[in-house]
Amino acid sequence: MSEIVLRLSGITKAYNRAAPNEVNVLRGIDLEVGTGEVVALVAPSGAGKSTLLHIAGLLDTPDAGKVEITGQDMTGRGDRQRTKVRRSDVGFIYQFHHLLPEFSALENIVLPQLANGVSKAAAEARAQELLDRVGIAERADHRPAALSGGEQQRVAFCRALANGPKLLLADEPTGNLDPGTSDQVFAALMDLVRGTGLSAVIATHNLDLAARMDRQIRLDAGQLVAD
């Protein structure tokens, strides 16, 4: 039986609560993602995809509802515990790579592992192996500015997977790339995800990319609708 890696129950979130400009972004979100399942989160800009991913990834808290990651109920947990679970179990990918500019591709993948207590030698070996898997092993010593947009995103994928998370959350991971590059970089991401048996929720408004995932859910007026 497949384990539930992410379970959201009754999640609500409003911005500017009780003010005239209150926005009820999430109005009762229920979602279960099983081991190895890759879910496309499809919605237009402004629908609340980032808000939902940030709550699922413990970067933000809901107004109400429950977030469970690998069976751990995160309700009422303090910052330290949330950071610990986020660091060990969750990988996050943004539309922009957010790599550290003064470090090489390899170092950007090594640093989160050192923060997680991994030895330098083991972290470097894993970083090199991940770069190899996304096809840019020979770019290990380059700084982000010396990489193409697609290469920068591949490094960001490796960084997100560096600590062997159970859950990957990606917010328009190829949204900043031209269509041809986007296709190849997305394929590299899917290979990486499938190769590690990771569970993932990947936000996109590209329906072709969404169709390559296991199932699609749509965010409509603050609620999830299965497609």
Q: Which residues bind ligand ADP (CB under 6 A)?
A: 15-16, 23, 25, 43, 45-51
Tell the smallest beta-carbon distance from residue 207 to ligand ADP (Å): 15
Nearer to ligand ADP, 94 or 186 (CB): 94
- Calculate the alpha carbon distances from 201 to 16, 17, 44, 47, 74 in Å: 27, 27, 16, 16, 18
Nearer to ligand ADP, 90 or 130 (CB): 90
Tell the smallest beta-carbon distance from residue 55 to ligand ADP (Å): 10
- Calculate the alpha carbon distances from 82 to 77, 158, 180 in Å: 6, 22, 38
Q: Tokens at residue 192, please?
A: 């990486």
Tell the smallest beta-carbon distance from residue 83 to ligand ADP (Å): 21
Tell the smallest beta-carbon distance from residue 154 to ligand ADP (Å): 23
Angle at 175 between CA 179 and CA 202, to 5 degrees: 115
Nearer to ligand ADP, 21 or 101 (CB): 21
Beta-strand ranges (E) seen in 61-106 are: 64-69, 72-73, 90-93
Nearer to ligand ADP, 54 or 84 (CB): 54
Query: Hunting for tokens 């995809």 — which residue is that?
Result: 49
